[in-house]
Amino acid sequence: MGFFDRNREDLLRRGYSPDRLPPGQYFTDRFPVLHVGDVPASDLSTWDLRLFGAVAQERRLSWDELRALPETSVECDIHCVTKWTKLDTRWSGVRFRDVMALVDVDPAADTVIAHAEGDYTANVPLAVMLDDDVVLASGYDGAPLAAEHGGPLRLLVPKRYFWKSAKWLRGLEWRIGDAPGFWERNGYHNDAKPFLEQRYWGD
């Protein structure tokens, strides 16, 4: 019996449905740390989040302004393109749509580009970003989000492979028309739906 079959049997023994695992994934209790470059340092006294693009007026939110928005909690499974899945992860933060309500977005906008430290970007359809479980996460498992996992703020888009959930978020850009992000320009699938196994170009 191969690794993936043993992993799914272990999942059953724990009382989970293997249907929660997308094709080609294995579950893990660990939370692997994967990113490009070094973990950036953040000074929350000067940190801000830029809201721009297809909006009537650009806006910048300070950390205090962001944290003053209604907080929500999300429990979800996360799926990395490197084939690990972690079940029942617990996050806290503010819903994307609550942040979007602070700017007047062009009705023709159909894409959001997440801008992160180090010029990293990830593109997500606006329709997906409006889901209840899409949050700007500042907390994980009851504690402030650790820097190695994207703190102080990361995007969380559970229905897509985890590279779409950009770490060290510093800006949200609304666009009319798509624009591939960092990994999308480097061989990863533009849509990144785990249950369709959309990992790479051509999948």
Please provide the DSSP assignment of 3-19 as one string. HHHHHHHHHHHTT--GG
Distance CA 193, CA 40 (A): 28
Do 87 and 16 touch, CB atoms closer than 8 A?
Answer: yes
Of the candidates 75, 79, 81, 55, the one whose C-alpha atom is nearest the C-alpha of residue 171 is 55
Give the pLDDT of residue 123: 98
What are the residue ranges spanned by the domains of the chain? 3-196
**DSSP reduced 3-state for 129:** helix
pLDDT in tens, 167-185: 999 999 999 999 999 999 9
- CA separation (Å) from 164 to 8, 64, 148? 25, 25, 16
pLDDT confidence tier of residue 41, bands split at 50, 70 and 90: confident
Could you report the per-residue pLDDT of 88-139, keeping only the tens digit for each?
999 999 999 999 999 999 999 999 999 999 899 999 999 999 999 999 999 9
**Rg from Cα positions in the chain:** 17
The arithmetic mean of pLDDT across residues 148-157, rounded, is 96
- pLDDT tens profile 9-40: 888 889 889 899 999 999 999 887 866 667 88
Whole-number Å distance between alpha carbons of 28 and 46: 37
- The Cα 174–Cα 96 span in angstroms is 12
Superfamily of domain 3-196: Oxidoreductase, molybdopterin-binding domain (3.90.420.10)
pTM of the shown model: 0.94
Q: Given this model, what pLDDT does residue 1 score?
A: 65
- Chain-centroid distance of CA 186 in Å reads 18
